Structure 1
């Protein structure tokens, strides 16, 4: 039986990144019995990237659909991808971000996982390539700690194969939450709801994509602000699932705990700097992230919500 698969790429005013992503997808090995096409959803009201899709399609022979989603925000773009795939008869939609490039066997590995580990969602791994100026103490080891086939309770949207029944009215009829358009975290929320609805999410670490980290993201301020806002997003996700009261209680105690740990446990440990400067800097960075995470959880209690995706990053 033939599997009809749609590779989905959301983009907005990032033509160079999109071209690299498209070329990596068009270089994939396609297994027998699989029909693959691509949809590029431009989160814009103008055809900014259409010329690139036309050029790559002509160069590679791949079918590339180009769709506009004028409602700004990544949840709307990702949802348009899923709805497009469901309405056009695709069995599965395979998400990849426009700032990623796929390893040559990425698609084939995902397809193989469908038969080996039947599930509604298959979640692949992202490797990060850092710019040369990145401080070594900022780079976390990229080690896979979960075996292939591990069943998860959530996933993210940057390397994920999804059964289109998740979007269809005769299936789960789920959609990305547009209220999270600029906050981040809408993908984690979506896949958590897939799990809650009875969908199975499986880890496939051999399905690799690679993301080139922009220079602005290896600055200390960006790293700490990201940790701060992620903590707030996690609190809001708990509110959606468990109610405001439970989320506030959790955020209060988690926030205080992380602050205490960062200030009184992790930060003093960074004094090892005297003996090992590299280890000391890494420990201090970890302490700062603990403090930022604690503050993010506590900021949730005030109603504050960061919106970092109001502007294009890396365009």
Structure 2
């Protein structure tokens, strides 16, 4: 039987972590989980009690790891260090809830396509969002792809993914630690894998649900995240020293910023779903234009820890 080690990095979200981890207990075949590695990225080790309690109930091994050096890339790399013998690694974020067939769907697609990385769909929910923009928030936190399993010519984020350990996660620090405070460590990894001919696939039935907490379920946060997301393509082109691609992405970004920005202003900005959606698209365009590392918003690691404190 093919199994995978599941890694959940977490930062001061014990209730959310509990939901995510317990969704693995509810899998149709929980034995598909080789082990669960919980990486507690809080210096105060706030996830330890939750993880220890879960270990008493789980039908698979549960490994608790405390990594006090705050940063999303460091947390992911720490989890991998405790799964060196694993053949497959699945990443589940601590705000995600796996569906009953989640892991098996990822494993089946990996086997069928011999993929290095497999992604699955995400259903975003935002119960705390203002009613007027809730559809925009939920769409932003969702991930949509093909209706059927298939090979991909693009990549997505690390949350809800399965990777082949020997080909996709090479070395001690496959996730770039320079992205600890900004995120995007997965984009850097996938761009490197794509450059070396890795195979990416889509598992249409590997659903997870992602719940946006109240501090993220608002337009201000969406604009920050969209801006950071927009920086990705331009930064990738710059890192590859592909000036033609960089100029192209910056030109696209300038157009998006102006066209969607004007449209957002004309449709009530953040007061209507249409206006909010256009403002988010405009912010993403601005990110493509202003891609410089000095302008990256700090949304993870130390800044997130300070916000929670």
Question: After TM superposition, is the score higher than 0.5?
Answer: yes
Partner Cα separation in structure 1 for residue 117 and residue 227 of structure 2 = 28
**Which residue of the partner structure matches residue 134 of structure 1?**
130
Aligned match of 2:304 in 303, 307, 311? 311
Distance 1:301 1:51, change over 3 A: closer
**1:184 corresponds to:** 183
Report the Cα distance in structure 2 between the residues aligned to 1:263 and 1:99, rounded to whole angstroms: 31
How has the CA–CA distance of structure 1 residues 246 and 184 changed in structure 2, closer, same or farther, with 3 Å as cutoff?
farther
Does structure 1 retain, via aligned residues, the 8 Å contact 2:126–2:134?
no
Q: How many residue pairs align between the two structures? A: 300
CA displacement at 1:282 relative to structure 2: 3.0
1:201 counterpart residue number: 200
The question of 1:282 aligning with 2:283 is answered no
> In structure 1, what is the Cα distance between the partners aligned to 2:293 and 2:245?
13
Could you tell me how far apart the structure 2 residues matched to 1:8 and 1:22 are?
A: 10
The answer on whether the counterparts of 2:151 and 2:199 sit within 8 Å (CA) in structure 1 is: no
Q: Which residue of 1 aligns with 2:108?
A: 112
Instruction: Please name the residue that 1:103 is paired with.
Output: 99
Question: Which SS does the other structure have where 1:116 is aligned?
Answer: helix
Contact 2:113 2:151 (C-alpha < 8 Å) held by counterparts: no
**Alpha-carbon offset, residue 16 of structure 1:** 0.8
Structure-2 residue corresponding to 1:236? 235
Q: CA RMSD in A?
A: 2.9
Aligned equivalent of 2:63: 65
Alignment of 1:1-315 (within 5 A): 2-30=1-29, 34=32, 36-85=34-83, 87=84, 89-131=85-127, 133-140=129-136, 144-146=144-146, 147-165=148-166, 166-168=168-170, 175-243=174-242, 245-246=243-244, 249-264=247-262, 267-268=265-266, 270=267, 281-300=272-291, 303-309=294-300, 310-312=303-305
Larger Rg: 1
The answer to whether the Cα contact below 8 Å between 1:123 and 1:155 also exists between their aligned partners in 2 is: yes
Q: Are the counterparts in 1 of residues 191 and 236 from structure 2 also a CA contact under 8 Å? A: no
CA distance in 2, matches of 1:46, 1:302: 30
- The alpha carbon displacement at 1:260 in A equals 2.6
* Deviation of 1:178 (Å): 0.6
**Structure 2 unaligned runs (5+)?**
none
Compute the displacement of 1:311 (Å).
1.4
Contact 2:132 2:272 in 1 (8 A): no
Deviation at 1:266, TM superposition (A): 5.8
Instruction: Write the distance in 1 (CA, Å) between the matches of 2:99 and 2:222.
Output: 27
**Does the CA-based 8 Å contact 2:117-2:201 persist in structure 1?**
yes
Q: Which 4+ stretches in 1 moved above 6 angstroms?
A: none
More off after superposition, 142-151 vs 216-225:
142-151
Residue 75 of structure 1: how far off its partner (Å): 0.8
TM-score, normalising length: structure 1: 0.83
Work out the CA distance in 2 between the residues paired with 1:188 and 1:205: 21
Structure 1 unaligned regions, length at least 5: none
Compute the displacement of 1:257 (Å).
1.0
Would the aligned equivalents of 1:11 and 1:42 in 2 still touch at CA under 8 Å? yes
DSSP-derived class of the 2:149 partner: coil
Normalization by structure 2: what TM-score?
0.85
1:239 to 1:58, Cα distance in 2 relative to 1, 3 A = same
Q: Distance in 2 between matches of 1:208 and 1:99?
A: 14
